[in-house]
Amino acid sequence: MGAGVQVLDDLGLRVELAAPPARVVSLVPSWTETLFALGVGPRVAGVTRFCVAPASEVAPLAKVGGTKNPDLGAIMRLSPDLVIANAEENRREDIDRLREHGIPVFVTYPRTVPGVVESVLRLGSVLGAEHAAAALTREIVMAVSEIEAGLGVWMKLRLRVFCPVWKNPWMTFNADTYAHDVLRMLGFRNIFAAAGERYPRVTLQQALEERPDVVLLPDEPYVFTDDDLREMKEALPAALGRRVLLINGRDLHWYGAHMVRGLRALNQLLARVRASSGLGSS
């Protein structure tokens, strides 16, 4: 534990520590879960209020606000050796403030399924948990390989999918996002892949013009509910309305340890959608 640590984060910035961190604050819910999966849970000193897994382990931990509005004073009072952040979920100005106060920050930014594997390995390096990180990445790769091997013709057919992440206004995501790559890996074609913005505002009419075969409504970041499901079904043509379903937002958006079970669960759900679509059955 006395050896120094020098690791490049996902943005290519060098993180230098005198030793593997003994006190860690995580500002990213999916990475919080991953820290416990890597066996470094006892080192986690604080998390955001959105860090809800693993439930029993994070419940007693100090809460340091939200992902977009962390309590920087609370973080500093915890005297962490390392803060784990994400370039998308956390604000750059908060990360910069922490660094100005001498707190090292490891910034992650995976936008593809393979990119997550690299992020996990980097996390393992900065935490001194290389063996656990390598084992976790093998599990992730195995889950992905199993899914891709079972898709068969659907890898070529690729049902067109509309997946909003917000309502009022409607927002979705383009190809430069992890959620897009998950759907690609599961054999779907994101109808807004070519949008100029990573999270474009759209209308239902624009979505219909792109001829989706399936509509997916995740329960995060916007919490789509059964009411939204009924409303969407009523607003769509009858055939498409039968292919609208709610999905677990964590299965789509969370990376790291959750992928091992989350990707399999999402694939099983969407396999039923493919089977009932009437497409590719000939």
Instruction: Return d(Cα 26, Cα 45) in angstroms, integer.
Output: 8
What are the phi and psi torsion angles at 26 (to 5°)?
Answer: -110, 130
Task: Transcribe 78-114 into DSSP letters.
Answer: T--SEEEEETTTS-HHHHHHHHHTT--EEEE---SHH
Q: Is the peptide bond before 218 cis (omega within 30 degrees of 0)?
A: no
Q: Could you tell me the pLDDT band of residue 278, with boundaries at 50, 70 and 90?
A: low
CATH number listed for the domain at residues 152-276:
3.40.50.1980
pLDDT value at 1 more than 50: no
Instruction: Return d(Cα 68, Cα 60) in angstroms, integer.
Output: 22
Amino acid making up residue 212? P
- Residue 4 pLDDT: 86
Instruction: Return d(Cα 101, Cα 110) in angstroms, integer.
Output: 26
Q: Could you tell me the pLDDT band of residue 279, with boundaries at 50, 70 and 90?
A: low
- Residue 59 pLDDT: 97
H-state helical runs in 217-276: 226-235, 238-241, 249-253, 259-276
Domains of the chain, residue spans: 5-112, 152-276
What is the widest separation between alpha-carbon atoms in the chain? Answer: 65
- Residue 28 pLDDT: 98
CB distance 22 to 8 below 8 Å: no
Locate tokens 């910069």: which residue? 96
User: What is the rounded average pLDDT of the residues 176-182?
Assistant: 98
Show the tokens assigned to 76.
């500093």
* Distances in whole angstroms, Cα of residue 232 to Cα of each of 105, 183, 235, 279: 41, 20, 5, 22
- Residue 201 pLDDT: 98
Show the tokens assigned to 211.
């001829």
Show the tokens assigned to 56.
């029993």
Question: Mind listing the pLDDT tens digit for each residue in 42-63?
Answer: 999 999 999 999 999 999 999 9
- Number of helices (H), then strands (E), in the chain: 13, 13
Q: Could you tell me the pLDDT band of residue 282, with boundaries at 50, 70 and 90?
A: very low
Architecture of the domain defined by 5-112: 3-Layer(aba) Sandwich (3.40)
CB distance 226 to 196 below 8 Å: no
CB distance 246 to 229 below 8 Å: yes
SS3 at position 82: strand
Mean pLDDT taken over the chain: 95
CA dihedral 88, 93, 95, 98 (to 10 degrees): -160
Question: Mind listing the pLDDT tens digit for each residue in 131-164?
Answer: 999 999 999 999 999 999 999 888 777 899 999 9
- Residue 202 pLDDT: 98
Please report, in angstroms and rounded to a whole number, the separation of the first and last CA atoms in the chain: 60
pLDDT value at 89 more than 90: yes
User: What is the rounded average pLDDT of the residues 55-80?
Assistant: 97
β-strand pairing of 24-26 with 44-47: parallel
Q: Closest by alpha carbon to 98, among 78, 77, 83?
A: 83
What are the phi and psi torsion angles at 198 (to 5°)?
Answer: -65, -35
pLDDT value at 280 more than 70: no
In this prediction the pTM is 0.93
Fold identical between 5-112 and 152-276? yes
